[in-house]
Amino acid sequence: MKDDLTTLSARLAYDKKHLWHPYSSMITPGYMHEVSSASGVHLTLSDGRSIIDGMASWWAVIHGYNHPVLNQAAVSQIDCLAHVMFGGLTHAPAVTLSQQLIEITHPVLQHVFFSDSGSISVEVAIKMALQYWIGREQPNKKRLLTVRHGYHGDTFAAMSVSDPENGMHHLFQGSLIQQLFAPAPVCRHDDDWRQEEMETLTTLLAQHQQEIAAVIIEPLVQGAGGMRVYCAEYLRQLRRLCDSYDVLLILDEIATGFGRTGSLFAYEQAGIAPDILCLGKALTGGYISLAATLCSTAIAEGMSANGDGVLMHGPTFMANPLACAIANASIGLLLSSPWQQRVAAIEQQLRQALSPYMAKPLVKDVRVKGAIGVIELKETVWPVMDWLPKWIVDQGVWIRPFNNLIYIMPPYTIQAAELMRLTEVMGRMVDKIAAC
């Protein structure tokens, strides 16, 4: 006999008993809030409360919720073609989206592979890099070099290039491919650049040149590995090193792409081009899962240089027409909006609001980049996570701290008063945790 799920309490109880949520345990499941609807930057809970979303649903909902342009794109597409296999068939939304992505990314990127999620776009990027060197008759080049505090996803190849000690995947270290790791970037601003930052990276490239296929890194902002911000000069130096040692450069812009750091793509601020680029999250404005891996013609053709060379990857929902149609609408909406002014205004307000929190005894650092605001604490928030999520919602906002970080990455459409509410709660949260 099925459980009666007509009441909120019954649904929450069933959820707690049967549903896994991200990064959670079935033994000690966390406190849940049911969302019934959303509009703009507000989530409406099933108990009637409205809360301001400071997370943009893990950084994806850049236009806000329930946007009429994206709604119409979804309705129009679902009425004619919700899905069709991409093997041997194509459709206008995918072709149009590939054209849009090629037009707005660096001119060197001319080829697009669509997949289901950011993690898979990283898997595809790694496959491209390894197969490129097989095509170049250098099959020994099959390791990746990356930096500490990185995060690239939860699938196996993506986990192997995420931080092996401070990241989320240390339990699997014995099962993962052993990659090479350099220290994380330190320099915040180009004016403070120190060439010594590249010494370990240079040494690793020199020592392992014959086995390194590619360097993979999140440009300017390391996301879930610590919300760390670093300077553009690091990327410029990294690009030069990759060229010098004949190693590919993969840039993971899943979190930073589509305006989050103040430029359409973070790599633009360094004036460089990747060999392979990973995109996701905001690609569809947060409406539906879709990701893309772009590469240069040299990579695409090099992969097939020694014969068949087909890329053996083909997700069932690859280039889903519904997702592609929404992505086309989202990119069009972004480019036609004053997104740069909006992100700049968010950045300015975040700096003004968060900087004073450096005076709080528990605060170790405050970081702001584009529409990203971070408070780093001197201790982890895990001991208070049994009550903190409920307390946050009781303040009328949605913020999801992790490790020792309190951060927000709101939709670009957030208003000044809404953003002020978020930053005020961040400050009160620091005080609340400190009092425990």
Is 151:223 a contact under the CB 8 Å cutoff? yes
The catalytic position among 53, 154, 163, 252 is 252
Q: Alpha carbon 122 to chain centroid distance?
A: 11
For the cut 70, the answer to whether the pLDDT of residue 167 exceeds it is no
Please count the other Cβ atoms lying within 10 Å of the Cβ belonging to residue 92: 14
Which DSSP symbol is given to 337?
T
For the cut 80, the answer to whether the pLDDT of residue 165 exceeds it is no
For the cut 70, the answer to whether the pLDDT of residue 193 exceeds it is yes
DSSP-derived 3-state class of residue 217: strand
Per-residue confidence (pLDDT) for residue 166, from 0 to 100: 67
Average pLDDT over residues 340-350: 99
Kind plus residue range of the DSSP H or E element containing 109 = strand 109-115
Annotated active-site residue 132? The verdict is no
| Percent of the chain predicted with pLDDT > 90 | 88
Annotated active-site residue 16? The verdict is no
Kind plus residue range of the DSSP H or E element containing 253 = none
Confidence of residue 218 (pLDDT cuts 50, 70, 90): very high
Confidence of residue 83 (pLDDT cuts 50, 70, 90): very high
Confidence of residue 189 (pLDDT cuts 50, 70, 90): confident
Per-residue confidence (pLDDT) for residue 318, from 0 to 100: 98
For the cut 70, the answer to whether the pLDDT of residue 309 exceeds it is yes
Residue type, 48: G
Average pLDDT over residues 349-378: 98
Closest CA to 169 of 119, 209, 203, 121: 119
The catalytic position among 53, 132, 275, 281 is 281
Q: Alpha carbon 72 to chain centroid distance?
A: 26
For the cut 90, the answer to whether the pLDDT of residue 281 exceeds it is yes
**Each residue's pLDDT tens digit, 241-256:** 999 999 999 999 999 9
Per-residue confidence (pLDDT) for residue 268, from 0 to 100: 99
Top pLDDT among 407 and 309 is at: 407
**Residue tagged 């592609």 (tokens):** 324
Name residue 212's beta-bridge partners. Answer: 143
Confidence of residue 168 (pLDDT cuts 50, 70, 90): low
Alpha-carbon Rg of the chain, whole angstroms?
Answer: 22
Q: Which two tokens stand for residue 5?
A: 């799920």
For the cut 70, the answer to whether the pLDDT of residue 398 exceeds it is yes
Q: Which two tokens stand for residue 169?
A: 């995947």
Per-residue confidence (pLDDT) for residue 126, from 0 to 100: 98
φ and ψ at 304, to 5 degrees? Answer: -110, 15
Per-residue confidence (pLDDT) for residue 1, from 0 to 100: 77
Annotated active-site residue 252? The verdict is yes
Average pLDDT over residues 187-208: 94
Confidence of residue 124 (pLDDT cuts 50, 70, 90): very high
User: Residue 418: CA atoms inside 13 Å, Cβ hemisphere, count?
Assistant: 24
Per-residue confidence (pLDDT) for residue 377, from 0 to 100: 98
Torsion sign across C-alpha atoms 418, 421, 423, 426: negative
* Residues 6+ positions from 108 with CB-CB distance below 8 Å: 273, 275, 296, 297
For the cut 80, the answer to whether the pLDDT of residue 306 exceeds it is no
**Each residue's pLDDT tens digit, 11-57:** 999 999 999 998 888 898 888 999 999 999 999 999 999 999 999 99
Please count the other Cβ atoms lying within 10 Å of the Cβ belonging to residue 79: 8
Is 91:321 a contact under the CB 8 Å cutoff? yes
Residue type, 132: Y
For the cut 80, the answer to whether the pLDDT of residue 170 exceeds it is no
CA dihedral (68, 285, 267, 120) in degrees, to 10, reads -150
Average pLDDT over residues 191-210: 96
Please count the other Cβ atoms lying within 10 Å of the Cβ belonging to residue 379: 13
Is 250:287 a contact under the CB 8 Å cutoff? no
Closest CA to 153 of 275, 293, 299: 293
Which DSSP symbol is given to 128?
H
Q: E-strand spans in 152-244? A: 180-182, 212-217, 221-222, 228-229
Torsion sign across C-alpha atoms 227, 232, 233, 238: positive
Per-residue confidence (pLDDT) for residue 172, from 0 to 100: 73
Top pLDDT among 160 and 372 is at: 372
* Residues 6+ positions from 117 with CB-CB distance below 8 Å: 153, 280, 289, 291
Average pLDDT over residues 263-269: 99
Please count the other Cβ atoms lying within 10 Å of the Cβ belonging to residue 47: 10
CB-based burial label for 175 (10 Å; 0-12, 13-18, 19+):
exposed
Per-residue confidence (pLDDT) for residue 375, from 0 to 100: 99
pTM over 0.85: yes
* Residues 6+ positions from 311 with CB-CB distance below 8 Å: 113, 124, 127, 128, 131, 303
Is 305:338 a contact under the CB 8 Å cutoff? no
* Residues 6+ positions from 407 with CB-CB distance below 8 Å: 227, 372, 373, 374, 375, 399, 401
The catalytic position among 65, 132, 151, 267 is 151
Per-residue confidence (pLDDT) for residue 378, from 0 to 100: 97
The catalytic position among 3, 17, 23, 364 is 23
Q: Domains plus CATH for the chain?
A: 8-63+338-434 (3.90.1150.10), 71-336 (3.40.640.10)
β-strand pairing of 228-229 with 221-222: antiparallel
Q: Is 301 left (phi over 0), alpha (psi -120 to 50) or beta?
A: alpha
Per-residue confidence (pLDDT) for residue 379, from 0 to 100: 95
For the cut 80, the answer to whether the pLDDT of residue 351 exceeds it is yes
> How long, in residues, is the chain?
436
| Percent of the chain predicted with pLDDT > 70 | 98
φ and ψ at 183, to 5 degrees? Answer: -60, 150
Per-residue confidence (pLDDT) for residue 304, from 0 to 100: 87
CA 277 to CA 72: how far, in whole Å? 29
